[in-house]
Each structure stands twice: as structure tokens, then as C-alpha cells.
Amino acid sequence: MKALVKKSLAVAVSVAALSSPAFAATPAKDVRFVGDTQFSGFCKAIVMDDVRVLRSSLARNVGRLAASQREVLRMVTSEEGLTCNGASLIEFSVERDANAVHEFLTARS
């Protein structure tokens, strides 16, 4: 019984130790999403300048907005597409100095 408790405690400590860097890597920026938050992942990707978050948002919206990730990207970056803080995704990425996301958006749209 003691061995099981020690093993469980060791696993819990290991999980806590491994998850700590994940919390340290998250940005400390205060961001609040209002309005239609269904597509907030795109704006979050720009705020965090994280292409992985952007690609995840693209993949999540395949079938809902368009048939492929490339088509979803075209739709959200179009003139009548998605806006963050009143600006298009490309304009918002420039405003926020999200260079990695901006490069991804402009290279593929």
C-alpha cells in the first residue's frame, strides 16, 4: 500500500514538474475576447504570435467554413473576412508585431 502511495506521489510530482514550463511559456498579456468568440483562436494566434495556434484554428474550421485549410485561410483573410479589434487578420498581425503569423498569412493567402 505504501509503495502505491509513493508511486502515485512520484507521478503527481513528475506531472507537476513537466507542466510548469508550459505555464511559464504562456504570454502574460491581458487579452479579452468580445463579440463572436467562436473564431477567437485566430486572434489569439496573432496575440501570441504562434503559428501552431493559427494552424490549429484553421484545422478546427475545416468543414465549418470551407472544405480545406487553405480555403479557410482564404476566407478569414479576405476583405470581408474575420476581423480582430476592427482590423483584418493581416493588418492586426502587423499592429501586434506578430511576425511569424504575419509571414504565414501572407505566404499562404
Greatest Cα pair distance, the chain, in angstroms, is 64
Tell me, yes or no, whether 84 lies in a domain: yes
Buried b (16+ CB within 10 A) or exposed e, 83-99: bbeeebbbebbbebebe
Q: Is the pTM of this model over 0.75?
A: no
Tell me, yes or no, whether 10 lies in a domain: no
Tell me, yes or no, whether 2 lies in a domain: no
Q: What is the pLDDT of residues 39-98, one digit of tens each?
A: 999 999 999 999 999 999 999 999 999 999 999 999 999 989 999 999 999 999 999 999
Tell me, yes or no, whether 87 lies in a domain: yes
Helix axis angle for 51-60 and 99-108, nearest 10°, is: 50
Tell me, yes or no, whether 30 lies in a domain: no
